[in-house]
Homo-oligomer: A and B are copies of this chain.
Amino acid sequence: MIKESKKEVSLENLALVPQLTLDCVIFGFHDNALKVLLLKWKQTPYHSLPGGTVRQDESLDDAAKRILKERTGLDKIFLRQFHTFGSLQRYNLERIKTALGHLIQPELWYERAISVGYYALVDYEEVFPNPDDLSESCDWWELKEVPDLLFDHNEILEKALHALRLELSFQPIGLNLLPEKFTMPDMMRMYEAILGKKIDPRNFQKKILKSGIVNKLDQVKRGVAHKSPYLYSFDKEKYKEVLKEGGLFFT
């Protein structure tokens, strides 16, 4: 959304695609809840989604990967382009200049910018959130507690969640949100968190096992209170197969 940051131009001399930005909705799963990474702008009370610009010598997908890598430290993550936001009123220029004038020179803002939205699914445990130069923090937020965001980022988040739900409803997805080994209740709660509703544990287990996308391991998770749950891992071959054939529906 900015024409060019002085730093970028002077230090790296990178040419950017003008008026085009990229915003990332990074989802993680922890404490039985779906969370999203938000940045807090330096010396302001304002939050927004991680985002950035697109360089002239990189594809959109590469730009998204770069931004993800910068914010999470992760390399190979599940990434989906879901929508491009191109209305005229994506942000109020005057309000933004006031809110962020101390960080970005007001004349560097375009009258409008088009933003390509990506969402990512990451393993919460493996992420080390990393703020960018203009942010003082980068933190996980529960969906329900997400505050008013700058620009049209609340709308972008909404649409990302909708796209995620849609994708989940006809494909397996969890592989990217869960650790290597996980329990059936873990997986079920992930589905519940994304779909926003309760699932019957017996029916869920039957459905997942029948699809064949997970293998039961000869281990249980120890050290947790109450009965020790069995551990599972994804059968990546079968998972890919089901992805292609679309054989796992949730509504």
Contact = CB atoms under 8 A, between A and B. Distances in A.
A86 interface: yes
A63 B112 CA distance: 15
A84 B20 CA distance: 12
Contacts of A87: 59-61
A170 B81 CA distance: 20
Contacts of A19: 17-18, 20
A116 B86 contact: yes
A58 B170 CA distance: 35
Interface string A63-91: 10000000000000000010111111000
A61 B86 contact: yes
A71 B84 CA distance: 23
Given A170-B170, A251-B246, A116 B20 contact: no
A251 B246 CA distance: 9
A52 to B, nearest CB: 14
Contacts of A116: 84, 86, 114
Interface residues of A, number: 27
Contacts of A83: 81
A157 B109 CA distance: 35
Task: Tell which of A56, A83, A114 has the most Cβ of chain B within 10 Å.
Answer: A114
A57 interface: yes
Nearest to A113: B17
A169 B56 CA distance: 37
A84 B54 CA distance: 13
Contacts of A84: 60, 81, 84, 116
Interface string A15-37: 00111100000000000000000
A56 B111 contact: yes
A231 B95 CA distance: 56
A114 B17 contact: yes
Contacts of A18: 18-19
A211 to B, nearest CB: 15
Contact of A60 (B17, B81, B114, B170): B114
A61 B246 CA distance: 30
Given A17-B114, A59-B86, A61-B87, 7 more contacts: A57-B88, A59-B87, A59-B88, A60-B114, A114-B116, A170-B170, A246-B251
